[in-house]
Amino acid sequence: MSGHLHVFWDWNGTLLDDTHACVAALNSMLTKRGLATVTYDFFREYFSFPARDFYRRIGMDVPDSEWDALAFEYHEEYSRQPAELNSEAITALERVKAAGFEQSIISALRQDKLDCDVAKYGLGRYFAKVYGSDNLDGGSKLDRARELYEAVGRPRAVLIGDALHDLEVADALGIDCVLVSVGGHSFERLAAVCPTVRTLLEAVMTVDKNFASS
């Protein structure tokens, strides 16, 4: 790797391997309501941002006045599920750090929860900035991404994420994107719209090959 570059990492489903936890939390909520549960493959094929659209699809359509409570319930259920760092996360972060590039996180997760996660895994040393949202809505992170991009000086950048929304964010910022099928979306779904890799180390290699010195 050579040349100045800033790597923006998504958190949930990318650095954090938590898709099974997401599915388990949703299924607990669905079961409480007497609704059909979803499979891991169904989740990866149909989950999208904003999350509320997906909730409607699986039968949890609530009025605006009840949405905050539903989002809170999901995060309570999610917090009871096991989740760990992606097995390649540390190696991937170390390789980008060794190349001399700055790294930041841009996530739709609420800021306090994101900060706790980053501290829990001892990852703070890797990141120039850690940007989450101000709510639990599971909505777009584009506004926060714009703020992050400005805060780090609008550098040449690439976003690594596991969802179509990451590509939407990258396109809106005018930066590059590498999608990796380790989380919330299937390989086929991502590859239909963007070159996609299967592991975090492949994502870092793709950054090295295609973006680092361009």
The per-residue pLDDT of the chain, averaged, comes to 93
pLDDT digits (tens, 9 = 90+) for 95-112: 999 989 999 999 999 999
Binning pLDDT at 50, 70 and 90, where does residue 1 land?
very low
The CA distance from 156 to 192, in Å, is 25
The CA distance from 39 to 61, in Å, is 19
- Check residue 213 and give its pLDDT: 63
In this model, does residue 2 exceed pLDDT 50? no
In this model, does residue 49 exceed pLDDT 50? yes
pLDDT digits (tens, 9 = 90+) for 191-208: 999 889 999 999 999 998
**For the chain, what are the domain ranges?**
6-17+85-210, 19-79
The CATH number given to 6-17+85-210 is 3.40.50.1000
More confident residue, 210 or 125: 125
